[in-house]
Amino acid sequence: MEIPVQHINGEPLNDEQRKYLEGFFAGLAAHGVSLAMSRRFPAAEKKISLDDLIFEERVKHELHPLDAYDQILENAVTNKSPDKEEIFRFKWNGLFFLDAEQGGVHGAAALFPAAC
């Protein structure tokens, strides 16, 4: 059986890969499925308008929360309260901001899982 794939990442298939793919495509053929049945369509490019996103998705699109560590450090050094977007981002790093109006101490609290 001729398999439609002969190379992976520019290198020819080894015997194990070839045998696996022959069996895989033979199984597809036994069920009446072939690659000729599928057609390739170019992926449509989606332009995302930030105005169409909800707050959380907009904030994540602007800067991924796990990439906000430098902002956490800068806020700590300058003793700056985080804005609304930063509060959302910092939650991903386990930091929850409580100000005096919310019954907390002005600052950030880190939540760590309890030791077993």
Query: Per-residue pLDDT tens for 1-26?
Result: 677 788 888 899 999 999 998 998 88
Could you tell me if 111 and 94 are in contact, meaning their C-beta atoms sit under 8 angstroms apart?
yes
Query: Per-residue pLDDT tens for 35-55?
Result: 766 666 666 677 778 888 899
What does DSSP say about strands 107-110 and 11-12: parallel, antiparallel, or unpaired?
unpaired
What residue type is assigned to position 108 of the chain? Answer: A
Q: How far apart are CA 92 and CA 34, in angstroms?
A: 44
DSSP-assigned letter for residue 106: S
Q: Output the pLDDT for position 100.
A: 61
Query: Per-residue pLDDT tens for 70-108?
Result: 888 898 888 888 888 988 888 877 877 766 665 555 455
Answering whether pTM is above 0.75, one says no
Q: Output the pLDDT for position 116.
A: 45
Q: How far apart are CA 99 and CA 13, in angstroms?
A: 61
Helix (H, G, I), strand (E, B) or coil at 68: coil
Q: Output the pLDDT for position 37.
A: 62
